[in-house]
Amino acid sequence: MRILVIGGTRFIGPYVVRHLVENGHEVTVYHRGQTQAQLPPQVHHLYGDRYDLPTRRDEIARLAPDAAIDMFAFTEADARATVAGLTGIAGRLTVISSADVYAAFGRLIGIESGPPEPGLLTEESPLRQRIYPYRGDTPRAPDDPHRWRDDYDKILVERVVMSDPALPGTVLRLPIVYGPGDTQHRLFPYLKRMDDGRRVIVLDEIAARWRGARGYVENVAAAIALAATDPRAAGRVYNVAEPEPLSEADWVRAIGRAAGWDGEVVTVPPERLRGVSTIPGDLTHDLAMDTTRIRQELGYVEPIPQEEALRRTIAWERANPPAEYDPARFDYDAEDAALAAS
């Protein structure tokens, strides 16, 4: 298949592109050329801004893409530009969404109220009622590098992509993604404690029970490539995550096993860790997703087992620690005091 990837040069995208190439597809990456990514040499490059797509339809038509993947449509305007550029040209469009569309996420970050959702979140679980989850009462300044967050909302992206019958859409709701190249260094807070020789990692009792959907980057990329190339995915929405969502405590233990750490996880009442190293949000609301649909409909199976995924991530993290971090996140004296008081 001829596949057009919009974006594809940051964290997840290069893995998607490599997976597609390895499976024999002809790939063109449309990007601004601002991010250096290690992509296979046979990949074609088309340079430009996503908002130029509607004016470059003739160029895109010459590529004759059977399918397209939009890796970074964050706003309604982003999605509209993509659809306007590809309708009547691409055979199908797959867009990357997020677990943050669910009402459970709105309750987790405190912008909506309601009881915890029972069980795992399915594709039919309630979505947030409040649009623009990161928009505050006062708009960010035009020169604020986070200005885009005021207009961010994957719910609106999904609506645009799934509403054009001339361009069949597929939506993939991604989890917390970890792996080599993760600019958010999601394993770092726990791995640093382990590598610093901490014998105990302390969590508050509520945080220890919290379950979030997670996925290793190569496995998530495999799911994206599968959905983009399987015609059965047209018109469908899929959750993507590891099959068994771990509690935060079990997640730390899994990292520890892969890191060769033989310490223990100890839980304490939340008030004893106030101001130390807690996870933000109302952690009575899990964000764990059911992934039965993509497994049953498309036959998705993770190519990399979790233990190996963690080993690869840890090796990368140790070789590429963040250039800067807040030392206050690692107040070991305060953690020891919380343990002593328990």
Question: For residue 280, what pLDDT is reported?
Answer: 79
**Strand, helix or coil for residue 211:** strand
Q: Which position has the token pair 């050329």?
A: 33
- Structural domains of the chain, count: 1
Question: For residue 36, what pLDDT is reported?
Answer: 83
**Strand, helix or coil for residue 338:** helix
Question: For residue 342, what pLDDT is reported?
Answer: 72
Question: For residue 101, what pLDDT is reported?
Answer: 99
Question: Which CATH number characterizes residue 247's domain?
Answer: 3.40.50.720
Q: Residues in the chain with pLDDT < 70?
A: 275-278
Amino acid present at 288: A
Range of the domain at 46: 2-340
Question: For residue 84, what pLDDT is reported?
Answer: 98
Question: For residue 242, what pLDDT is reported?
Answer: 99
pTM of the model: 0.97
Residue 274 CB partners (closer than 8 Å, separation 6+): none
Question: For residue 179, what pLDDT is reported?
Answer: 99
Q: Quick check: 76 and 160 in contact, CB under 8 A?
A: yes
Q: Quick check: 25 and 50 in contact, CB under 8 A?
A: no
Question: For residue 273, what pLDDT is reported?
Answer: 82
Question: For residue 237, what pLDDT is reported?
Answer: 99
